[in-house]
């Protein structure tokens, strides 16, 4: 089954792209599949069916803490209140991947469990490909498109485990991406986790310990898993340059794309999609193997929210310059990879 993996820094328009792909009847659009399984996406060695199911289903700490404390994360689409699971206990793949595909994510969850638990041992990459093929075939789809937010963090592993996959690198102007990150709770928490890691020596969401809250300085305690404060996460002042640095660091993974042949790699500009969506989406659809990509692009182009472009243009001159400088290393990397369409490198 043809597999395409969409890559990005985060806040680069890839969620929108997943939703548009989901409008095509021949595409299985797996939104946030690998992100749902983090940490522990690519375990070493062979895994049998029950172990693979455990990987797919075990609730991850960070999203369940955020849901328990009612932090509004738009990508968390599991129907709390009407679904089987309560906040704090939502299975990994039910969090973001299953709900866009069906009105009954719990039923789809059960069907996947019944299928994979009987599988023999195999490397996890083989199990993933087996799952994607079964899933696409059973739902009448003929291409698979996986897209996870900030997926460049997985890039070395993705290239190792899926060497035959096609890759779409979706990119956006660095300052605009950083502005969007600054308003999103997951990226805000990501900056603060970096500060907590500097104090504790570990990421408290990956190595939880109830003592962490006591060990942290007072200004970081509202962001630890056992003492998360949703209002503090939303309101605490985080300088914009921290998000520029975050975006710039994420682009460091782009070096791994330099050796991919053209038939395996497509660069897709968010800003170009905003400006003229139909030809950009048609090129994307043709690259990933969608049937009648022109018809699909014409049908979904009107759903592109063009008002989201140019967020950094509303900053003061001083803020804009500070953010530009924070993004400069990433802008240079991006420009070297995709050319002048990435923006003017300082």
Give the three-class secondary structure for 123: strand
Q: How far apart are CA 169 and CA 87, in angstroms?
A: 33
Q: What pLDDT is attached to residue 342?
A: 55
pLDDT in tens, 106-159: 999 999 999 999 999 999 999 999 999 999 999 999 999 999 999 999 999 999
Encoded tokens for 8: 């990005």
The per-residue b/e assignment along 290-308, b for 16 or more CB within 10 angstroms, e otherwise, is beebeebbeebbeebeeee
pLDDT in tens, 219-259: 999 999 999 999 999 999 999 999 999 999 999 999 999 98
Q: Measure the N-to-C terminal CA separation of the chain; round to a whole number of Å.
A: 42
Beta strands in the chain (DSSP E): 3-7, 27-31, 46-47, 122-123, 143-147, 166-171, 265-269
Q: How many CA atoms lie within 13 A of 53 on its CB side?
A: 14
pTM (predicted TM-score): 0.96
pLDDT grade, residue 340 (50/70/90)?
A: low
Encoded tokens for 330: 């990433």
- Mean model confidence pLDDT for the chain: 96
pLDDT in tens, 194-213: 999 999 999 999 999 999 99
Q: Cβ(229)–Cβ(218) under 8 Å?
A: no
- Cβ neighbours around 63 below 10 Å, total: 26
């Amino acid at each position: 089954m043809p597999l395409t993996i969409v890559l990005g820094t985060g806040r680069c328009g890839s969620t929108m792209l997943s939703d548009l792909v989901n409008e095509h009847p021949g595409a299985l659009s797996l939104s946030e599949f690998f992100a749902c399984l983090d940490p522990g996406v690519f375990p070493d060695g062979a895994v049998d069916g029950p172990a693979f199911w455990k990987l797919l289903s075990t609730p991850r700490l960070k999203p369940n803490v955020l849901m328990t404390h009612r932090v509004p994360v738009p990508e968390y689409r599991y129907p709390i209140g009407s679904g089987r699971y309560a906040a704090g206990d939502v299975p990994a793949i039910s969090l973001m991947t299953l709900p866009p595909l069906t009105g009954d994510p719990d039923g789809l969850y059960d069907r996947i469990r019944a299928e994979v638990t009987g599988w023999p041992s195999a490397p996890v990459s083989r199990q993933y490909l087996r799952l994607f093929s079964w899933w696409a075939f059973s739902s009448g789809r003929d291409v698979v498109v996986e897209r996870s937010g900030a997926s460049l963090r997985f890039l070395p592993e993705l290239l190792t485990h899926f060497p035959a996959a096609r890759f779409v690198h979706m990119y956006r102007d660095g300052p605009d991406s950083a502005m969007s990150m600054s308003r999103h709770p997951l990226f805000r928490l990501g900056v603060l986790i970096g500060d907590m890691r500097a104090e504790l020596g570990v990421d408290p969401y990956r190595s939880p310990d109830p003592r962490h809250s006591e060990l942290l300085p007072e200004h970081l305690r509202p962001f630890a898993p056992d003492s998360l404060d949703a209002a503090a996460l939303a309101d605490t002042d985080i300088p914009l340059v921290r998000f520029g640095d975050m975006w710039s660091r994420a682009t460091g993974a782009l070096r791994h794309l330099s050796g991919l042949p053209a038939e395996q790699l497509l660069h897709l500009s968010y800003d170009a999609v905003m400006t003229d969506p139909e030809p950009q989406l048609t090129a994307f659809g043709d690259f990933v193997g969608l049937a009648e990509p022109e018809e699909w692009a014409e049908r979904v182009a009107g759903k592109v929210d063009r008002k989201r472009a140019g967020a950094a243009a509303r900053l003061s001159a001083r803020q804009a310059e500070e953010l530009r400088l924070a993004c400069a290393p990433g802008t240079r990397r991006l420009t070297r990879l995709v050319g002048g369409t990435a923006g003017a490198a300082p």
